[in-house]
Amino acid sequence: MFNFEYPLRETKIESELENKINLLKDYVKEVYLKSTEGDPKKEMQVEEFNRHNEDILNFVEELTEKEEMSPEDKETVKLAAILHDVAKFNAPLVKHGFEGAKMAETKLKELNFNEEKVQQVKNAIERHMGPIPGFMANEAKKWEEKTGEKIEFPRPKSTVDKLLYDADMLSLISLRGIQKILTIRENTDVFQEEDEKTAAKEGITVEEARWRSALKSAYEAADSLFTESAKRKAYQFLIEAEEFAKKSLNKKVA
């Protein structure tokens, strides 16, 4: 006779996980929306954060296909990707990893994920801060000067940690990531001054100085990657970004 039990149970488990994944995605969006308090500037940031989270999930899916990983680990890194920036509004930038890990713990327990899974997701979220050395390390230094509090970022250890870190860094190295850095530099007084100073010192335009520092951040992020497949993808991104930079700077000169 036919044995229906095995395939039916598999399907049930899969759809249960899909269901929880969708609940987690909605949860992150809800947290963001609640934090905007109707501020239009923050609402725009929400869109950006949502897009970033989608990008990370896509990178994670791409990288997990190329790297050797167990189905269990693939599931864990997917959960971590969805939740990794949940605290972006609720905590200072340098602390969103720690705070996000706590929020993830509460939510995952609520959805009955087992202790081990919860711990692995928490670890990956706490260890996703980067690039280190580079931007995030500098932010921690500034934070210490301002508050006296020293922040030590735990570094990626497991395959899951490394994959999440790499996916997050790839979003910074992608052309969209670099363009985001350019916009931030153009609209933040301290960065604008920094780029003006570099331009005067090097005899280049401010636009060129801005591109240089954005590309520098992208190269720092690329240097800090762990997995081979992320390194390959980063290399392609950087070629693309260099070409784009050349084209848009030449256009300005012409």
Applying CB under 5 A, which residues contact Fe ion? Answer: 85, 168
Q: By C-beta, is 85 or 195 nearer to Fe ion? A: 85
Q: By C-beta, is 139 or 207 nearer to Fe ion? A: 139
- Rounded to whole angstroms, the Cα distance separating 127 from 46 reads 23
Task: Show the CA angle centred on residue 172, arms to residues 170 and 174, nearest 5°.
Answer: 65
Q: By C-beta, is 67 or 85 nearer to Fe ion? A: 85
Q: Pick from 223, 192, 98: which is nearest to 149 by CA?
A: 98
Smallest distance, Fe ion to C-beta of residue 4, A: 43
Q: Which residues of 55-76 are buried (b: 16+ CB within 10 A; e: fewer)?
A: bbbebbeebbeebebeeebbbb
Report the 10 Å Cβ neighbour count for 102: 16
Residues 196 and 206 sit within 8 Å (Cβ to Cβ): yes
Q: By C-beta, is 97 or 214 nearer to Fe ion? A: 97
Q: By C-beta, is 100 or 245 nearer to Fe ion? A: 100
Q: By C-beta, is 85 or 161 nearer to Fe ion? A: 85
Q: Pick from 167, 134, 184: which is nearest to 62 by CA?
A: 167
Task: Show the CA angle centred on residue 156, arms to residues 151 and 157, nearest 5°.
Answer: 125
Smallest distance, Fe ion to C-beta of residue 22, A: 20
Smallest distance, Fe ion to C-beta of residue 15, A: 28
240: Cβ–Cβ under 8 A, 6 or more apart, which residues? 175
Smallest distance, Fe ion to C-beta of residue 85, A: 4
Smallest distance, Fe ion to C-beta of residue 229, A: 18
Smallest distance, Fe ion to C-beta of residue 84, A: 6
- Rounded to whole angstroms, the Cα distance separating 105 from 186 reads 37
